[in-house]
């Protein structure tokens, strides 16, 4: 099924779609129960990595039964360092670079697993949980041993702070109060780091602890050392979308994202960079999805703050496969667009959105169709919401692809990813912590 562009000297081009394609495929049967169990959301790679870190800590506890206060302190610090460093942008880019070095000649099962690199947040969670538990144990030990009052006080203040950070990072709070979560995580994290320095100096720990803290501090500070305020040109093809154009001497790599802010100490939002091949600068596609994005579209600020480290995203795993299908809804086209334009890997697009030309503008839609003439562009204002799992599978089958990459909201992403993986098809999509 294809979308096409009709042009005339007097009329604007239009996207043609069909609401009931005759060749839409039936989904293949489910794989065996054991394989489906491994693909269950509760057992996704994110949770496996978190469990692996916790098991490694249990193993360490087993071989060092009744560890000393010093050993407990090192265990806590190493785990919390892991939690911080794996979220550092250069480290994330390194993860993606290493995972995507595998050639397409490698077995699909190996590449399928390597493509899950964006679940690295599981290491962050495992390290944070283990580190907090170790530090709680250390606070109990120094209290029982009758350490100096300042050390005991700092220990229990830090315990309370770590508990607060962990509790507010849990999915129920994070999804409902995301802005508060970000502020607590940022300011609470900085405060915890300062208290760790205080605790380490009061406890007279050795050079190893000071070295680990120095690495963590540098990791936290580095993105802020690249902070700057830059000009931005806003285009609004509709009241729903803003195209933010940047030309401050940076041309990021395809598939990366940039964090922008109007108030750098309180709120940051990341969007996919859309560089155009052979042209400097880049664009961000920003859709109305809340108070911040709505204000950004309505106010069209002339300048914004950016952190200078662009970060790889889920779609960068495309190079692991010979052919891929991109599935997007609405503004999910933004993270897909740079890969479609770069055409590094043969791909086909399935995009469901409301009135694409009126919402995103003729220029953007024509740009997409110029590189994806066989794309399926489904206008939901005319045909309603489609069965995205079946559309994705149809494109996967007809194009002979090896994997599907979905960029959408959380609910639909999980429907597509797990709907296909339960049928033995490699599928990828951003998770809540990626």
Terminal C-alpha separation, the chain:
32
Q: Tell me: do 280 and 420 sit in the same domain.
A: no
pLDDT at 69: 85
Sign of CA dihedral 244, 292, 317, 324: negative
pLDDT of residue 433: 61
| Residue count (the chain) | 434
Number of Cβ within 10 Å of residue 9's Cβ equals: 4
pLDDT at residue 285 is higher than 80 = yes
pLDDT tens track for 166-204: 999 998 898 888 889 999 999 999 999 999 999 999 987
pLDDT value at residue 11: 34
What does the DSSP assignment read for 211-238? HHHHHHHHHHHHHHHTEEEEE-EEEEEE
- Quick check: is 425 in a domain? yes
pLDDT in tens, 8-30: 223 333 444 443 444 788 899 99
pLDDT above 70 as % of the chain: 94
pLDDT digits (tens, 9 = 90+) for 36-47: 888 777 788 999
383, 359 contact by CB (below 8 A): no
**325 vs 309, higher pLDDT:** 325
Residues 270, 255: contact at Cβ < 8 Å?
A: no
What is the spatial distance between Cα 337 and Cα 345, in angstroms, rounded to a whole number? 13
CB atoms within 10 A of CB 69: 18
Residue 179: count of CB within 10 angstroms of its CB: 12
Boundary (domain end) residue, out of 308, 325, 355: 308
How does residue 279 score in pLDDT terms, banded at 50, 70 and 90? confident
Say yes or no: 398 and 422 in one domain. Answer: yes
Same domain assignment for residues 330 and 387: yes
Same domain, 46 and 167: yes
pLDDT of residue 217: 97
pLDDT tens per residue across span 202-254: 987 788 999 999 999 999 999 999 999 999 999 999 999 999 999 988 899 98
User: How many domains does the structure of the chain reveal?
Assistant: 3
46/431: higher pLDDT: 46
Last residue of a domain, one of 225, 248, 283: 225
- Indicate the Cα dihedral angle 409, 414, 420, 423, nearest 10°: -170
Residue 182 inside a domain? The answer is yes
Average pLDDT, the chain: 90
Containing domain of residue 413, as a range? Answer: 15-33+315-429
Is 54 a residue whose pLDDT tops 90?
yes
Shared domain check, 329 and 296: no
Average pLDDT over residues 78-98: 96
Is 204 in the same domain as 78?
yes
For residues 305-322, average pLDDT: 92
- Looking up residue 236, the CATH number of its domain turns out to be 2.40.30.10
Residue at a domain's end among 204, 225, 246: 225
Of 365, 355, 337, 412, which is closest to residue 13 (Cα–Cα)? Answer: 365
* 211 and 98 co-located in one domain: yes
What is the model's pLDDT at position 12?
35
60 and 71 in a single domain? The answer is yes
How high is the pLDDT of residue 434? 54
Are both 413 and 297 inside the same structural domain? no
| Chain CA centroid to CA 116, Å | 12
């Amino acid at each position: 099924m294809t979308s096409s562009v009709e042009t005339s000297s007097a009329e604007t081009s239009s996207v043609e779609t069909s609401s009931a394609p005759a060749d839409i495929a039936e989904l293949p049967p489910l794989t065996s129960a054991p394989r489906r169990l491994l693909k269950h959301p509760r057992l996704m790679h994110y949770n496996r990595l978190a469990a692996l870190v916790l098991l490694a800590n249990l193993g360490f506890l087993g071989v060092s039964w009744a560890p000393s206060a010093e050993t407990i302190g090192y265990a806590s610090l190493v785990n919390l360092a892991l939690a911080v460093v794996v979220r550092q942008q250069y480290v994330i880019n390194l993860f993606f670079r290493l995972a995507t070095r595998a050639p397409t000649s490698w077995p699909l099962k190996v590449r399928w697993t390597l493509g899950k690199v964006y679940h690295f947040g599981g290491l962050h969670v495992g390290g944070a949980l283990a580190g907090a538990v170790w530090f709680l144990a250390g606070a109990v030990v120094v209290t029982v041993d009758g350490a100096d009052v300042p050390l005991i006080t700092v220990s229990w203040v830090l315990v309370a702070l770590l508990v607060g950070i962990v509790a507010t990072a849990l999915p129920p709070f994070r999804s409902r109060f995301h802005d508060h979560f970000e502020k607590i995580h940022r300011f609470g994290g900085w405060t915890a780091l300062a208290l760790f320095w205080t605790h380490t100096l009061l406890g007279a720990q050795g050079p190893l602890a000071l070295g680990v803290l120095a690495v963590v501090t540098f990791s936290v500070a580095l993105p802020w050392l690249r902070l700057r305020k830059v000009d931005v040109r806003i285009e609004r093809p509709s009241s729903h979308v803003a195209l933010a154009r940047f030309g401050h001497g940076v041309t990021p790599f395809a598939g990366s994202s940039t964090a922008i802010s109007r108030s750098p100490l309180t709120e940051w939002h990341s969007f996919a960079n859309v560089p155009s091949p052979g042209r400097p600068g880049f664009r961000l596609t920003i859709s109305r999805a809340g108070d911040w994005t709505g204000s950004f579209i309505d106010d069209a600020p002339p300048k914004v703050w950016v952190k200078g480290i662009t970060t790889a995203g889920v779609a960068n795993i495309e190079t692991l496969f010979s052919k891929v299908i991109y599935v997007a809804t609405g503004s999910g086209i933004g993270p897909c667009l740079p890969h479609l334009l770069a055409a590094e890997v043969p791909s086909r697009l399935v995009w469901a959105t409301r009135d694409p030309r009126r919402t995103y503008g003729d220029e953007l839609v024509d740009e997409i169709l110029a590189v994806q003439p066989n794309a399926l562009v489904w206008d939901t204002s005319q045909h309603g919401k489609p069965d995205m799992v079946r559309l994705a599978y149809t494109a996967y089958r007809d194009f002979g692809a090896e994997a599907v990459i979905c960029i959408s909201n959380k609910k639909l992403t999980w429907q597509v990813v797990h709907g296909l993986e339960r049928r033995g098809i490699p599928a990828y999509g951003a998770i809540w912590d990626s």
